[in-house]
Amino acid sequence: MGGFFDFGKTLIIIGLVIAIVGVLIVMGGKIPWIGRLPGDFTVKGEKFTFYFPLATSILISVVLSLLFWFIGRK
């Protein structure tokens, strides 16, 4: 019976993560510092623009790692 409840908990966590990512995508344009941190690279050429959000990716990774670590503790 414990395995079934663990699966349910996992589904709830996955659902919450998807909901949070969805809110961030919708609100992304309204949060001024997302994607404009020091360490986010932009290379503009004549016919192209290359954007690599390195610092934003690291920040999101740290936040998600801490969140999953906190949820995974028993």
Q: Tell me the C-alpha distance between 50 and 38, whole Å.
A: 16
pLDDT at 44: 92
Q: What is the mean pLDDT of each run of 10 residues along the chain (74 residues)?
A: 70 85 76 78 91 88 84 70
The separation between the first and the last C-alpha atoms of the chain, rounded to the nearest angstrom, is 18
- Report the predicted TM-score, pTM, of the whole model to 2 decimal places: 0.57
pLDDT at 46: 92
pLDDT at 74: 57
**Sign of the dihedral defined by the CA atoms of residues 49, 32, 41, 63, in that order:** negative
